[in-house]
Structure 1
């Protein structure tokens, strides 16, 4: 069995180092890209949360009593001074006791 020469060992080590460096570069690039995508997702999430808060405020404004009163006034509803209470007569079977 012959021993590999020093030149062959150096060439093999050089190829291994270059291969590992390229793999490291590719891995770093993938991580950086994923980090940018994650930042974009976080930004979109924050934007949607802000929109949800604004929409919740709009819903609260539109459903407030003052807004409902203005809506009713614009459609011709009027306030009643004395409400009319409709009652039903007692059932006949109940009266015969």
Structure 2
């Protein structure tokens, strides 16, 4: 359970931090920070999930090993972790949409 919470908040933090800091970059380059933040949320969503689960290859190996060896509990655990990362990133997108007034 601890790992799921950490993964969720890591994905949330990566997305929020990337979008907010990217918005500052948009201001410095005389672009609309709101547009930059909204674009960045979609661009870095996958990376937020990958970062939160600790990279993609190790988790893919675990999934593969779980299927091959018949360890379905291991597969289920990895899928739950993946869903937690996705939900954290999705919450980050929702928060940025609320803060910027949406699309």
**Which interval holds the TM-score relative to the shorter structure?**
0.3 to 0.5
Which has the bigger relative contact order, CA under 8 A and spacing at least 6?
Answer: 2
Q: Which structure shows the bigger proportion of residues in helix conformation?
A: 2
Is the radius of gyration larger for structure 1 or structure 2? 1
TM-score for both structures, normalised by structure 2: 0.31
TM-score for both structures, normalised by structure 1: 0.33
